[in-house]
Copies of this chain bind each other. A is one copy, B any other.
Amino acid sequence: MKNSRQSRKKLDSQVRKKLLETAADLFYRRGIENVGINEVIDRSGAARMSLYYHFPSKDALILAVLDHTSEIRLKALEEANKKGKDKDPRSRLLEVFRPMKGIVEDEGFRGCAFINAATERADPADPIHERVARYKSDLRGIFARLAQEAGVLSPDLLSWQLLLLWDGTMTEVYIQQDPNLVDAAILAAETLIRSALPPPGPA
Protein backbone atom coordinates (compact mmCIF):
# COMPACT_ATOMS: atom_id res chain seq x y z
CA MET A 1 0.00 0.00 0.00
CA LYS A 2 2.99 2.20 0.35
CA ASN A 3 3.05 2.71 -3.35
CA SER A 4 -0.49 3.95 -3.60
CA ARG A 5 0.06 6.35 -0.74
CA GLN A 6 3.09 7.69 -2.50
CA SER A 7 1.42 8.29 -5.76
CA ARG A 8 -1.59 9.77 -4.06
CA LYS A 9 0.65 12.31 -2.45
CA LYS A 10 2.57 12.96 -5.59
CA LEU A 11 -0.62 13.67 -7.45
CA ASP A 12 -1.80 16.01 -4.74
CA SER A 13 1.31 18.11 -4.94
CA GLN A 14 0.77 21.83 -5.18
CA VAL A 15 3.72 22.22 -7.51
CA ARG A 16 2.30 19.62 -9.82
CA LYS A 17 -1.05 21.36 -9.82
CA LYS A 18 0.53 24.69 -10.60
CA LEU A 19 2.54 23.20 -13.45
CA LEU A 20 -0.55 21.59 -14.88
CA GLU A 21 -2.64 24.74 -14.78
CA THR A 22 0.13 26.94 -16.10
CA ALA A 23 0.78 24.55 -18.95
CA ALA A 24 -2.92 24.26 -19.76
CA ASP A 25 -3.21 28.02 -19.98
CA LEU A 26 -0.08 28.52 -22.03
CA PHE A 27 -0.75 25.62 -24.35
CA TYR A 28 -4.21 26.91 -25.12
CA ARG A 29 -3.31 30.54 -25.55
CA ARG A 30 -0.18 30.15 -27.57
CA GLY A 31 -0.30 26.65 -29.01
CA ILE A 32 1.34 23.53 -27.65
CA GLU A 33 4.29 23.52 -29.99
CA ASN A 34 4.92 27.22 -29.53
CA VAL A 35 5.43 26.88 -25.79
CA GLY A 36 8.67 25.49 -24.45
CA ILE A 37 9.04 23.89 -21.07
CA ASN A 38 11.25 26.79 -20.07
CA GLU A 39 8.29 29.08 -20.27
CA VAL A 40 6.13 26.66 -18.36
CA ILE A 41 8.54 26.47 -15.46
CA ASP A 42 9.24 30.19 -15.47
CA ARG A 43 5.58 31.11 -15.30
CA SER A 44 4.70 28.44 -12.81
CA GLY A 45 7.61 29.31 -10.57
CA ALA A 46 8.60 25.67 -10.36
CA ALA A 47 12.06 24.33 -10.96
CA ARG A 48 12.99 22.54 -14.13
CA MET A 49 13.60 19.30 -12.35
CA SER A 50 10.28 19.52 -10.54
CA LEU A 51 8.56 19.39 -13.89
CA TYR A 52 10.55 16.34 -14.91
CA TYR A 53 9.92 14.83 -11.51
CA HIS A 54 6.18 14.91 -12.04
CA PHE A 55 6.09 14.43 -15.79
CA PRO A 56 8.66 12.28 -17.58
CA SER A 57 8.50 14.36 -20.75
CA LYS A 58 6.78 17.26 -22.38
CA ASP A 59 4.49 14.84 -24.15
CA ALA A 60 3.46 13.36 -20.82
CA LEU A 61 2.70 16.86 -19.60
CA ILE A 62 0.57 17.52 -22.68
CA LEU A 63 -1.41 14.34 -22.10
CA ALA A 64 -1.93 15.21 -18.46
CA VAL A 65 -3.14 18.64 -19.47
CA LEU A 66 -5.60 17.16 -21.95
CA ASP A 67 -6.95 14.70 -19.40
CA HIS A 68 -7.26 17.45 -16.83
CA THR A 69 -9.04 19.79 -19.22
CA SER A 70 -11.33 17.05 -20.49
CA GLU A 71 -12.52 16.27 -17.01
CA ILE A 72 -13.24 19.90 -16.22
CA ARG A 73 -15.01 20.64 -19.48
CA LEU A 74 -17.25 17.60 -19.52
CA LYS A 75 -18.15 18.05 -15.89
CA ALA A 76 -19.05 21.68 -16.51
CA LEU A 77 -21.29 20.72 -19.40
CA GLU A 78 -23.02 18.05 -17.37
CA GLU A 79 -23.60 20.57 -14.61
CA ALA A 80 -25.05 23.09 -17.02
CA ASN A 81 -27.46 20.43 -18.21
CA LYS A 82 -28.46 19.38 -14.72
CA LYS A 83 -29.32 22.96 -13.88
CA GLY A 84 -32.26 22.85 -16.24
CA LYS A 85 -33.41 19.52 -14.88
CA ASP A 86 -36.80 20.98 -14.05
CA LYS A 87 -37.50 21.78 -17.68
CA ASP A 88 -38.84 19.18 -20.04
CA PRO A 89 -36.36 17.12 -22.09
CA ARG A 90 -37.26 18.84 -25.35
CA SER A 91 -36.32 22.25 -24.01
CA ARG A 92 -33.15 20.92 -22.53
CA LEU A 93 -32.12 19.48 -25.87
CA LEU A 94 -33.03 22.64 -27.72
CA GLU A 95 -30.83 24.63 -25.37
CA VAL A 96 -27.83 22.36 -25.65
CA PHE A 97 -25.82 24.95 -27.59
CA ARG A 98 -26.48 27.76 -25.16
CA PRO A 99 -23.34 27.25 -23.06
CA MET A 100 -21.27 27.88 -26.17
CA LYS A 101 -22.23 31.53 -26.14
CA GLY A 102 -20.34 32.12 -22.93
CA ILE A 103 -17.40 30.02 -24.04
CA VAL A 104 -16.67 31.85 -27.27
CA GLU A 105 -17.26 35.27 -25.76
CA ASP A 106 -14.48 34.70 -23.32
CA GLU A 107 -11.57 37.03 -23.94
CA GLY A 108 -8.73 35.01 -25.34
CA PHE A 109 -10.97 32.39 -26.88
CA ARG A 110 -8.91 30.50 -29.39
CA GLY A 111 -11.11 27.68 -30.58
CA CYS A 112 -11.33 24.20 -29.13
CA ALA A 113 -8.24 23.19 -27.18
CA PHE A 114 -8.62 19.59 -28.27
CA ILE A 115 -9.03 20.29 -31.95
CA ASN A 116 -6.02 22.55 -31.76
CA ALA A 117 -3.96 19.87 -30.08
CA ALA A 118 -4.88 17.28 -32.69
CA THR A 119 -4.03 19.71 -35.43
CA GLU A 120 -0.61 20.53 -34.08
CA ARG A 121 0.28 16.87 -33.97
CA ALA A 122 -0.08 15.70 -37.52
CA ASP A 123 0.40 12.01 -36.86
CA PRO A 124 -2.94 10.28 -36.18
CA ALA A 125 -1.04 7.60 -34.28
CA ASP A 126 0.11 10.15 -31.72
CA PRO A 127 -1.38 9.38 -28.28
CA ILE A 128 -2.68 12.91 -28.21
CA HIS A 129 -5.10 12.04 -30.98
CA GLU A 130 -6.64 9.29 -28.96
CA ARG A 131 -7.38 11.73 -26.14
CA VAL A 132 -8.93 14.22 -28.50
CA ALA A 133 -11.07 11.58 -30.19
CA ARG A 134 -12.26 10.34 -26.81
CA TYR A 135 -13.13 13.80 -25.61
CA LYS A 136 -15.18 14.45 -28.71
CA SER A 137 -16.88 11.09 -28.38
CA ASP A 138 -17.78 11.90 -24.79
CA LEU A 139 -19.15 15.24 -25.86
CA ARG A 140 -21.24 13.55 -28.51
CA GLY A 141 -22.43 11.12 -25.84
CA ILE A 142 -23.92 14.01 -23.90
CA PHE A 143 -25.74 15.17 -26.99
CA ALA A 144 -26.97 11.66 -27.68
CA ARG A 145 -28.32 11.21 -24.17
CA LEU A 146 -30.20 14.49 -24.30
CA ALA A 147 -31.58 13.58 -27.70
CA GLN A 148 -32.76 10.23 -26.53
CA GLU A 149 -34.43 11.66 -23.45
CA ALA A 150 -36.21 14.14 -25.68
CA GLY A 151 -37.57 11.36 -27.81
CA VAL A 152 -35.53 11.94 -30.92
CA LEU A 153 -36.04 9.21 -33.49
CA SER A 154 -32.38 8.72 -34.35
CA PRO A 155 -30.41 10.21 -31.46
CA ASP A 156 -27.14 8.87 -32.77
CA LEU A 157 -27.35 10.61 -36.10
CA LEU A 158 -28.49 13.85 -34.52
CA SER A 159 -25.74 13.77 -31.91
CA TRP A 160 -23.09 13.47 -34.59
CA GLN A 161 -24.63 16.30 -36.55
CA LEU A 162 -24.67 18.49 -33.48
CA LEU A 163 -21.05 17.65 -32.81
CA LEU A 164 -20.06 18.63 -36.34
CA LEU A 165 -21.89 21.90 -35.92
CA TRP A 166 -20.31 22.43 -32.53
CA ASP A 167 -16.80 21.88 -33.81
CA GLY A 168 -17.32 24.04 -36.83
CA THR A 169 -18.64 26.88 -34.74
CA MET A 170 -15.77 26.79 -32.27
CA THR A 171 -13.37 26.86 -35.17
CA GLU A 172 -15.01 29.48 -37.32
CA VAL A 173 -15.64 31.88 -34.45
CA TYR A 174 -11.92 31.78 -33.90
CA ILE A 175 -11.08 32.24 -37.56
CA GLN A 176 -13.52 35.06 -38.18
CA GLN A 177 -13.03 36.48 -34.71
CA ASP A 178 -16.76 36.85 -34.49
CA PRO A 179 -18.66 35.40 -31.52
CA ASN A 180 -21.96 36.25 -33.17
CA LEU A 181 -21.61 33.21 -35.39
CA VAL A 182 -22.86 31.28 -32.40
CA ASP A 183 -26.31 32.67 -33.03
CA ALA A 184 -26.39 31.12 -36.47
CA ALA A 185 -25.20 27.87 -34.96
CA ILE A 186 -27.93 27.90 -32.33
CA LEU A 187 -30.58 28.41 -34.99
CA ALA A 188 -29.09 25.59 -37.04
CA ALA A 189 -29.05 23.30 -34.03
CA GLU A 190 -32.70 24.07 -33.37
CA THR A 191 -33.57 23.32 -36.96
CA LEU A 192 -31.77 20.00 -36.87
CA ILE A 193 -33.34 19.08 -33.56
CA ARG A 194 -36.87 19.96 -34.60
CA SER A 195 -36.46 17.94 -37.77
CA ALA A 196 -35.32 14.99 -35.71
CA LEU A 197 -38.17 15.13 -33.23
CA PRO A 198 -41.37 13.29 -34.04
CA PRO A 199 -44.15 15.69 -34.94
CA PRO A 200 -46.23 16.62 -31.91
CA GLY A 201 -49.29 14.41 -31.87
CA PRO A 202 -52.61 16.11 -32.37
CA ALA A 203 -53.58 17.24 -28.88
How many residues of A are in contact with the other chain, CB < 8 A?
44
Q: How many copies does the complex hold?
A: 2
> Does A181 lie within 8 Å of B168, measured CB to CB?
no
Known: A167-B167, A184-B161, A191-B192. A172 touches B120 (CB 8 A): no
Q: Could you show 15 A-B contacts with beta carbons less than 8 Å apart?
A: A119-B120, A129-B175, A132-B175, A133-B177, A136-B175, A137-B176, A157-B184, A160-B184, A164-B165, A164-B169, A164-B185, A166-B168, A167-B167, A168-B168, A168-B169
Contact A119 B122 (CB under 8 A): no
A102 contacts the other chain (Cβ, under 8 Å)?
no
Closest chain B residue to A185, Cβ basis: B164
Which stretch, A49-57, A72-80, A81-89, A110-118, touches the partner chain B?
A110-118
Contact residue among B33, B133, B137, B167 (Cβ-Cβ distance under 8 Å from A168): B167
On whether A164 and B184 interact (CB within 8 A), knowing A115-B119, A119-B111, the answer reads: yes
Query: A187 an interface residue at 8 Å Cβ cutoff?
Result: yes
Residues on the B chain within 8 Å of A172, using CB = 136, 163-164, 167
Whole-angstrom CA separation of A118 from B116 in the bound complex? 9
- Annotate A170-195 by CB proximity to B: 1 below 8 A, 0 otherwise: 01101111000100110110011001
